[in-house]
Amino acid sequence: MKKLFVLLAAAVAPFGAALACTNFIITKGASADGSVMVSYAADSHGLYGALYHTPGGRHKAGALLPVYEWDTGRYLTDIPQPARTWSTVGNMNEHSLIIAETTYGGRHELEDPTGRIDYGSLIYIALQRAKTAREAIDVIVELADTYGYASSGESFSIADPDEAWIMELIGKGFKDDGRGGNARKGIVWVARRIPDGYVCAHANQARITTFPKDDPENCLYAPDVVEFAREIGYYQGSDEEFSFSDAYAPADFGALRGCEARVWAFFRTVADGMDTYTDYAMGYNKTNKMPLWVKPRAKVAPKTVFDCMRDHYEGTPMDMTADLGAGGHGCPYRWRPMYFEVDGEEYCNERATATQQTGFWFVAQARPDVPRDMGILWFGVDDAATSCLTPIYCSATEVPACFSETNGSMLDYSPTSAFWLFNRVTNFAYMRYNMIAADIRKVVDAWENDQLQTQVPQTDAKAATLPAKKRVRYLTDHSVRTAQALFDRWSKLDKYLLVKYMDGNVKSEHAGVLEFLDGSGTAAHFVDNGNGRDIPDNIQFPGYGEKWKRAVAADNGEILKVINE
């Protein structure tokens, strides 16, 4: 029996592994507002969604930085601090440098047990030390080659206001140098600049195939990336035909269906001609490879990227709302494990971009038409399909209390934590998804459109009149206040949904959810029987979908059948 294997990713947050992350990359020539955008979902069943901040500063000679493995908290080593480091908030620094990741794993024999810099540390240390994407690539390579790479195969999205890159790397395994060290310490890697006007994506499968060897403006790589593959026996052909992903991370059914399919879903949303690759995305034809990047049919707006992170393969053969697995209420989620067996045959549940186990997610914008300290990290927690993004300016020196890593944990509920609040709402939505999620989405769209179209432009205009230090304080205060306003709005939404949908019934309303949130939020919003006792009238009982009813009848119809005499 063939075993399906999906490459799973680790998150870049302390002490909690995340599985199967997703990145979309939009160059400035492909975006509607001229910004470079990178999206990311840190998807983990054990990750607490929080926003992390590291202040920048100057360091004395001899100062050391302790390095801890992001997934486990394991101490790895101390490394020298540079004279100057930059402030970071989430996966963005004060210069609008963005770094995100997905883990593809690759050949496990290339993992180095002696490595002292893991993938998460590479990201956050690079954000502290680099101002541009090219500088970040240099920092990542230098750190991994100097201290040894402690993780498996990784794809990085690296972007600044001018350009965007996809970088893929993997370790070299272990070979005893005779002195107790590793003669193969370091990484093999390739980084490709995404052509302006195009979009790219990766989702836990290495995607760089062949690449130019004589175009350093657009392609950088380890000097031994081809020769090492020959040495190990992964490749025997010419330099020109060498494919990084085929050598270091050959794809199987699971890598296509569980990983590449997410890239395909994004590409088909923004570009034409992607139905040609349906058989590839479904794992049926791995020779029909998608391109590394595609040109969108129209300029891609930030809101489009937000919504692409909410995808469940709607309108495709893998639509998660359409089959019996969605239950009687169209729930687009399948609880783990991803695979199940029936009568000796193995089957897979889909793994879409939006997933229930997201810890945090973001869409970062590096904007070339404003000062670099005015980049925006649109940040959210929990399932992207039923959560909301709020703007955090990249120079913010304070994290909103509702997003703080000290406010609750995966084992400690906090009533002031956005992560717990959004999980309350989302988990309630799973009960009757086709109705509750629609109400949530109205609130999401209203909030995000208002921020994009009104609040951010007004904030930008005010900030542009301020000197640098006052601008940073103003943008920090705005980011904190706005995040708290979103938290307060979600608190009202939480109460509204419970009152409206309690026990599987639906109470009738005088108006919709937006009116409730913008109004008093009292019982007068709902229809009562007119007797002055707040007793609801015209309660609705929506029942189940047709497919579900037919399935129940087929399964247990003889017992449930009504007999009319």
pLDDT tens digits, 233-265: 999 999 999 999 999 999 999 999 999 999 999
Q: Six-digit token pair at 162? A: 């001018």
What's the confidence (pLDDT) of residue 244?
A: 98
Could you give phi then psi for residue 403, rounded to 5 degrees? -105, 0
pLDDT confidence bin for 519, thresholds 50/70/90: confident
Residue 489 CA to residue 494 CA, distance in Å, equals: 9
Inter-residue contact 356 to 77 (CB < 8 Å): no
pLDDT of residue 506: 97
Q: Which two tokens stand for residue 551?
A: 């399935």
Q: Which of 177, 251, 173 is nearest to 207 (CA)?
A: 251
Predicted confidence band at 230 (pLDDT cuts at 50, 70, 90)?
very high
Provide the 3-class DSSP secondary structure of residue 525. Answer: helix
User: What pLDDT is attached to residue 520?
Assistant: 72
**Whole-Å CA distances, 263 to 21, 49, 208:** 11, 24, 13
For 127-138, the DSSP string reads: HHH-SSHHHHHH
Task: Please tell me the predicted confidence (pLDDT) of residue 322.
Answer: 94
Q: How many whole angstroms separate alpha carbon 349 and alpha carbon 340?
A: 8
- Which strands make up the sheet holding 219-221, listed edge to edge? 53-54, 88-89, 92-93, 98-105, 153-159, 164-171, 187-193, 219-221
pLDDT exceeds 70 at position 15: no
- At 151-166, the pLDDT tens digits run 999 999 999 999 999 9
Q: What pLDDT does 106 receive? A: 97
303 phi and psi, to 5 degrees? -60, -35
Tokens standing for residue 45 = 């069943």
Pick from 50-54, 71-75, 213-217: least confident: 71-75
**CA contacts within 13 A on the Cβ side of 1:** 11
The answer to whether 375 and 394 are in contact (CB under 8 A) is yes
**What DSSP state is assigned to residue 509?**
B
Listed in order, strand segments (DSSP E) in 261-338 are 293-294
User: Distance (Å, rounded) from C-alpha 70 to C-alpha 462?
Assistant: 38
Helix axes 433-450, 468-501, angle to 10 degrees: 160
pLDDT grade for 14, boundaries at 50, 70 and 90: very low
Question: How many other CB atoms sit within 10 Å of the CB of residue 450?
Answer: 11
pLDDT band at 411 (very low <50, low <70, confident <90, very high): very high
pLDDT given for residue 11 in this prediction:
33
Nearest-angstrom CA–CA distance, 499 and 477:
34
Helices 119-129 and 133-147 cross at an angle (nearest 10°) of 130
Q: pLDDT at residue 104 above 80?
A: yes
What are the φ/ψ torsions at residue 302 (nearest 5 degrees)? -55, -40
What does the pLDDT read at residue 20? 76
CA nearest neighbour of 120 among 104, 136, 138, 100: 100
Task: Specify the DSSP element, H or E, that contains 121.
Answer: helix 119-129
Q: How confident is the model at residue 227 (pLDDT cuts 50, 70, 90)?
A: very high
- CA-based nearest residue to 338, from 322, 321, 356: 356
Banded model confidence at residue 8, pLDDT cuts 50, 70, 90 = very low
As a whole number of Å, the CA-based R_g of the chain is 25
Report which of residues 180 and 508 the model is more confident about.
Answer: 508
Are 269 and 244 within 8 A, CB to CB?
no
Average pLDDT of the chain is 95
C-alpha span between 190 and 167 (Å, rounded): 6
Q: List the alpha helices (DSSP H) in 153-260.
A: 225-232, 244-248, 253-255
pLDDT of residue 109 exceeding 90: yes
Please list the residues that pair with 68 across neighbouring strands. 75
Residue type, position 442, single letter: K
Calculate mean pLDDT across residues 71-100: 96
Extended strands (E) in 194-294? 199-202, 219-221, 293-294
Q: Where are the beta strands (DSSP E) in 374-431?
A: 376-381, 390-393
Q: In sequence order, what are the residues at sequence separation of 6 or more whose Cβ sits closer than 8 angstroms to the Cβ of residue 7?
A: 20, 103, 104, 105, 204, 205, 249, 254, 255, 258, 259
Residue 1: what pLDDT? 33
Confidence of residue 395 (pLDDT cuts 50, 70, 90): very high
Which residues 6+ apart lie within 8 Å of 354 measured at CB? 41, 309, 310, 311, 312, 332, 383, 384, 385
d(CA 426, CA 433): 9
Tell me the two tokens of residue 118: 């893991």
Cα separation, 40 vs 202, in Å, equals: 10
* C-alpha atoms less than 13 angstroms from C-alpha of 387 in its C-beta half-sphere: 32
Domain range summary for the chain, segments of one domain joined by +: 22-311, 316-351, 404-525
Query: Which of 77, 235, 70, 75 minimizes the C-alpha distance to 154?
Result: 70
What is the distance between the alpha carbons of residues 386 and 414, in angstroms, rounded to a whole number? 20
Give the mean model confidence (pLDDT) for residues 187-202: 98
User: What single DSSP character describes residue 490?
Assistant: H
Strand positions, DSSP E, 121-229: 153-159, 164-171, 187-193, 199-202, 219-221
Residues 279-328: tens digit of each pLDDT? 999 999 999 999 999 999 999 999 999 999 999 999 999 999 999 999 99
* 168 phi and psi angles, rounded to 5 deg: -125, 135
Share of the chain above pLDDT 70, in %: 97
